Amino acid sequence: MLRVFLVDDEEPVLALMERLLATNVNIEIVGKFTRPEEAISRIQTEKVDVVFLDIQMPGMNGIEAAEFLMEVAPAIEIVFVTAYNQYAINAFELNAVDYLLKPPTAGRLKKTVDRLIRNWEGRNQGEQKMEAELAEADVLESNKKNSILGQGFYCFGHFEWIVDAQTGETVNWRRLKDRELMAYLVHRRNRFVSKATILEDLWPGANPEQATAFLHTCVYNIRKKMNSLGCKEKLAYKDNGYRLELLELWCDAEEFERVAGGMEVDAGSIGACETAASLYKDNYLEKEGYIWAYETEKALKDTYITLLTRMADYYSSIPNYDSAMNCLLNAHKRHPFHDQINDSILLGYARMGDRQSMILHYERFTRLMKEELGIEPMETTIHLYDRLYSSNAKDIS
């Protein structure tokens, strides 16, 4: 039996909804409220499957109320009851179970209840199947641990949420703004961000009331998405701010920062450093064009280049000049005008005895500086090249 809350500031609508639903043996009304705050308080101690929720209410509207209800009870189903016409409803495009226009008819309400019951039965079957599968969980645990790093959030280049490590399946977003907000929450992961800051970053210059409504809609959609995927991660709300708590899902940028941020590069850590460097497929969220990510993009690129140069220094000390050169050339792709990197590449080719590559690199670098910046290489680079050009590989130190 479905346990139901009714929330509407109009007493006649509550009475009508109660009368219509009371005829269905699969429905038990366990609460009626004229203020959404009362429903939010009660749902913390009451098991509820469905909330029939008005949108237009004084104070907290239905969109905001749905957001709070979803935070307390992520599995709850929401049915909006509204006086808006169909065009206004389409503007929200929420992932609610259904919309009912006031006043609801018995026939229309029956279709909604039938859908709710089908969903409820499907969840029960899914839970039974999950219990059976959990019996085999211990046997598969080692395989899960090997693949878990493939599941999670990828932020280098495009933003992707991979939900299947084996197939690489990603979350399909119906709306671009839902996707951007999720990327933003991952970007600011494990920290509370004020609603005002989010609105300023994602809806700059927009009407505050409209932007707030869009934000609540996006948060609602994200919570529904997380719940449908069985995420243990939590999108928390506190003191007018939001925080995405990463508990099990992996984030490539977080793992990259953990290793590249200050780990010493030596024989014991070079493997972890190589893995971290391989995560940097492209600049951070560069292909999304999010203005709010620019500072982090620049900082992570600097971290990446620093990591590669430290790895190159380690490989040169072994000596393993091929690996050192590979690190330097990857750094050069991200920062082709970096004088120190170009000097190190010249020196590396000279140490390898690859005179032709050294000459070609210097010529390309010189041409690039003139064409793009209108300047010559630094005098120190010119002097280094002249010295290397006239030296033998065995004389290079």
- pLDDT at position 359: 96
CATH code, 373: 1.25.40.10
Say whether both 13 and 57 belong to one domain: yes
Say whether both 173 and 278 belong to one domain: yes
Task: Report, as ranges of residue numbers, the positions in the chain whose pLDDT lies below 70.
Answer: 84-96, 123-150, 392-397
Say whether both 123 and 180 belong to one domain: no
Say whether both 347 and 259 belong to one domain: no
- Say if 126 falls within a structural domain: yes
- pLDDT at position 155: 97
pTM for this entry: 0.74
- Say if 303 falls within a structural domain: yes
SS3 per-residue string spanning the chain:
CEEEEEECCCHHHHHHHHHHHCCCCCEEEEEEECCHHHHHHHHCCCCCCEEEEECCCCCCCHHHHHHHHHHHCCCCEEEEEECCCHHHHHHHCCCCCEEEECCCCHHHHHHHHHHHHHHHHHHHHHHHHHHHHHCCHHHHHHHHHHHHHHCEEECECCCEEECCCCCCCECCCCCHHHHHHHHHHHHCCCCCEEHHHHHHHHCCCCCHHHHHHHHHHHHHHHHHHHHHCCCCCEEEEECCEEEEECCCCEEHHHHHHHHHCCCCCCCCCHHHHHHHHHHCCCCECHHHCCHHHHHHHHHHHHHHHHHHHHHHHHHHHCCCHHHHHHHHHHHHHHCCCCHHHHHHHHHHHHHHCCHHHHHHHHHHHHHHHHHHHCCCCCHHHHHHHHHHHCCCHHHCC
Say whether both 259 and 326 belong to one domain: no
**Residue at a domain's end among 289, 309, 331:** 289
Say whether both 275 and 314 belong to one domain: no
- pLDDT at position 270: 96
Say whether both 294 and 243 belong to one domain: no
Distance, in Å, from the CA atom of 260 to the CA atom of 263, rounded to the nearest integer, reads 6
- Say if 138 falls within a structural domain: no
- Say if 257 falls within a structural domain: yes
Q: How many domains does the chain have?
A: 3
**Residue at a domain's end among 289, 304, 330:** 289
Asked whether the beta carbons of 234 and 245 are under 8 A apart, the reply is yes
- pLDDT at position 261: 83
Say whether both 263 and 301 belong to one domain: no
CATH code, 23: 3.40.50.2300
- Residue numbers of the domain that contains 318: 290-395
The dihedral of CA 133, 134, 135, 140: what is its sign? positive
- Say if 177 falls within a structural domain: yes
Say whether both 160 and 86 belong to one domain: no
- pLDDT at position 95: 56
- pLDDT at position 94: 53
- Say if 145 falls within a structural domain: no
- Say if 44 falls within a structural domain: yes
Say whether both 174 and 260 belong to one domain: yes
**Residue at a domain's end among 289, 308, 323:** 289
Say whether both 184 and 210 belong to one domain: yes
- Say if 63 falls within a structural domain: yes
Say whether both 193 and 114 belong to one domain: no
